[in-house]
Amino acid sequence: MRDDDSIKKFRYFPQEGDCIEEFTYFLAKVLNSGDIVADVVWAESLYQNPELHVQETILNACRIGCFEDVRQMLGSAPYQGSSVGPSTTSLGEIIPSISTPITLKYLGKAVDGLYMQLVENDKLYKSGNTGNGKFFSIVQSSGTGKSRAMIELRTKGVIVLYMNIRSKDDINGYPERDHPVADILQEFPQSQQEYSDRCYALFTVIFHVLKYTFKYYLPKISKDDELVNHWNENMCDLGSPARAQFFQTVEAQFNKLWKKLGYTNPEAGQGRTNPPDIYTSIATLKGAAKAWNEFATGRFGWKPGSNHPRLVIEFDEAHTLIHLHGNKYRPSTVLCRAIREFSVFDVWVLFASTTPQVADFFAPAISHDSLRVPAEGELLFPPYVHFGWDQNAMNTTKVRPHEVSEFEYIARLGRPLWVSLKGRVSSENAVLNIACEKLCKNRSYNPTDRNQALAVLGARLCLAIRRGHLESNEFNTKAVASHMRILKSITPNRLWQTTIYPSEPLLACAAAIQLHSTSESLKETLEVLSDNILDGMVETGNRGELVSRGLLLIGKDLFVRSLGLARTPAKYAENGKLPDCMSVSVVEYLRST
């Protein structure tokens, strides 16, 4: 463990009101076993022990400048180090470790904006002017906080049912896949009618199990707000036994209903008998939704005509439903048609993804998948894209000029993903490796690949894509979904997207690493840029602003590397500073050019 003199050299110390992560990361640095991941895990286990009073002990030690009590606390139980060897830094192995931020203090106003859009959409829907069902989409790049904002609707008095339906092959993503629901929706039969029945049956059992669960809570909890909070505490804790039990019940009830609807094999949907009329799927869904609404209205005293959302059903990673199946139907369209059947009640459904195509979910009375989406565009609610930026930024008045290149400062700028990873991986370079991999959607950089090259230059030089170019929509869709580009807006008719790379120093450093990774990388990347400028897809600015940025930033990249500051990628940030964020002498820089 570190002694007092070593601890006092730390740049930053936890303060009252800081999130849990700040205290556990501080403990891990004091412990200093050489395995930061194991140290953080151990620190978190200590933090959960109420008898240790971890937060108070740390704050008091920082106040008096003596850390003996902290060391005694760390030694109060046998240290459980890592049993799996050194930490790896690949994205697939590290992303599961960022689950902790879901439980940390929520920062930013994205959930406020999302809630207000729900209210406004409800007004528009009830006016009859917009929307063909109570559903709309959340679209934004990776790491911006979509899942957390959806879950945080719980703070608005809303009953939240969050479900992740990522692909079964995506085993490393977080939040983890909710297998019972995802398996139901991702079983794509040949018949559109059969898939319709799957959607109707799923929502039917969701309403049944919701009603049953709340009735089960009633003898224990009498107050309305406490009842809703109890539900949200259980169901928004993504690893809770109550949440697992809920989905197991949904799965079991679905299989029973599926047989009643006449399908002999609930998993494979092998054929259908002639079920009694009482079990028609649409009538069953409407009956279940009505029963839930009557129960909830009576129990919670919901006033008719209110535009405030009561129950929000959320499907994360919804892009798994966008593809046309067998040239017969699009699962998302069929699912939205099922939602429309209960849109008369106080229930909203959200779809979230990094893929802008989920903004095109719609539910026409008759589906013609050969039609372009704009034919129904006026019936769609605009997607929600506003998740804020720099929510975790430090107070700049407390940061001295020579500290602005420090990893601890830089990681707090931009999207919340970086600060989520801070302290969760083995080193600063591990975070940069993840940033490089996510930027290129590949563990190695190919400068001749247009999407990768424009992603790297986009993050480094803030490339703008000309709206209206023939290939801009396809490029923007891929860039947002796979290369960390931020979606700024989508036109009401869904024809055009506006995307940007906002100022994000850590991602810019990752781009610089890739840009100069080999002797040929810069040359080959600039050739791709030249081709796309000549093609008209990349904006240069009315006064040559792109050229100015390129000369300044690439010139600085080369100057920094000539000084030996930016060493090999594996040692890029080994001293806790990011070389491409360091200040340099203007005179020396100009002389070098």
Looking at 60, 76, 92, which one is the last position of a domain? Answer: 76
Tell whether 454 and 548 lie within a shared domain: yes
Tell whether 158 and 300 lie within a shared domain: yes
Is 385 within the bounds of a domain?
A: no
Is 104 within the bounds of a domain?
A: no
- For range 143-165, the mean pLDDT: 96
Tell whether 298 and 430 lie within a shared domain: no
Helix (H) or strand (E) holding 490, with range, is: strand 486-490
pTM for the model: 0.80
Tokens encoding 542: 């009315």
- For range 345-349, the mean pLDDT: 95
Question: Confidence band (pLDDT; 50, 70, 90) for 319?
Answer: very high
Tell whether 284 and 346 lie within a shared domain: yes
pLDDT reported for residue 48: 76
Question: Confidence band (pLDDT; 50, 70, 90) for 91?
Answer: very low
Q: Please give the Cα distance from 225 to 589 (Å, whole number).
A: 62
pLDDT tens by residue, 4-42: 888 887 766 888 876 676 787 788 888 877 665 567 667
Maximum mean pLDDT: which of 47-56, 399-408, 475-484, 560-569: 475-484
Containing structural domain, residue 444? 396-592
Is 445 within the bounds of a domain?
A: yes
Is 585 within the bounds of a domain?
A: yes
DSSP characters for 195-246?
A: HHHHHHHHHHHHHHHHHHHHHHHTTT--SHHHHHHHHHHHHSSTT-HHHHHH
Tell whether 113 and 45 lie within a shared domain: no
pLDDT tens by residue, 200-248: 999 999 999 999 999 888 778 878 899 999 999 999 999 899 999 999 9
Three-class secondary structure of residue 474 per DSSP: helix
Tell whether 549 and 431 lie within a shared domain: yes
DSSP characters for 358-398?
A: GGG----SS--TTS-GGGGGGGSPPPB----S-TT---GGG
Tokens encoding 495: 């024809």
Tell whether 33 and 119 lie within a shared domain: no
Looking at 76, 92, 123, which one is the last position of a domain? Answer: 76
- For range 190-204, the mean pLDDT: 94
pLDDT reported for residue 37: 55
Tell whether 459 and 326 lie within a shared domain: no
pLDDT tens by residue, 288-309: 999 999 999 998 888 888 999 9
Residue 79 has pLDDT above 60, yes or no: no
Looking at 336, 359, 382, which one is the last position of a domain? Answer: 359
One-letter amino acid at 187 equals E
| Count of domains forming the chain | 3
Tell whether 572 and 424 lie within a shared domain: yes
Residue 442 backbone class (left: φ over 0; alpha: ψ -120 to 50; beta: rest): beta
Q: Would the CA dihedral through 257, 261, 265, 268 be positive or negative?
A: negative
pLDDT tens by residue, 506-529: 999 999 999 999 989 999 999 999
Is 68 within the bounds of a domain?
A: yes
Tell whether 290 and 159 lie within a shared domain: yes
Is 183 within the bounds of a domain?
A: yes
Tell whether 263 and 342 lie within a shared domain: yes
Is 350 within the bounds of a domain?
A: yes
Tell whether 205 and 305 lie within a shared domain: yes
Is 323 within the bounds of a domain?
A: yes
